[in-house]
Amino acid sequence: MIKTLGVAHFTLAVTDTVRSMAFYVDILGMTPVQVNHERGMVFLDCGGDCIILTKSDAKIDPNDHDVHHAFIVAEEEYENAKDQLRAKGINIFLEEDRQGGAVNGPRAYFHDPDGNVLEIINLTSYKGKIS
């Protein structure tokens, strides 16, 4: 058995790295680590985790909410974060508070400019190990 230590990065397919970088930096507060728009790759830091925006022709289904990416926000910032999304014209299409599962807490779902389904969550509990 291989013992993985964590997630090194995950990649999001985007059609325009300039537009998407602006969204993830200006809206979600991520920090550019390495940017190469010519190659179609933007590496962003998200609280110590690496997110890569990669230019792709992949077909994204904005209605497939089972495929999404969740970002933790602090409990005291959760309501403000939703207000900020709305103030930027970003539609929160679903809000729920899941409890009793593996990943628990209030959450709000919205789309990035390419239709990727994103989630912000006030993570109240997690059954796994948080380092």
| Global confidence as pTM | 0.92
β-strand pairing of 117-121 with 68-72: parallel
Q: What is the CATH code for 1-58? A: 3.10.180.10
Mean pLDDT of 33-55: 97
Q: For residue 98, what pLDDT is reported?
A: 94
Pick the CATH number of 60-131 from 2.120.10.30, 3.10.180.10, 1.25.40.10, 1.10.10.10: 3.10.180.10
Structure tokens at 124: 């109240």
Cβ-Cβ contacts under 8 Å for 105 (sequence gap 6 or more): 97, 98, 99, 121, 122, 123, 124, 125
- In total, the chain counts a number of residues equal to 131
What would the two tokens of residue 30 be?
């991520």
Domain(s) of CATH 3.10.180.10: residues in the chain: 1-58, 60-131
Least confident of 1-10, 35-44, 78-87, 99-108: 1-10
Q: What is the pLDDT of residue 84?
A: 97
pLDDT of residue 112: 97
pLDDT at 131: 60
Q: Tell me the percentage of the chain whose pLDDT exceeds 70.
A: 98
Q: Is the pLDDT of residue 37 over 80?
A: yes
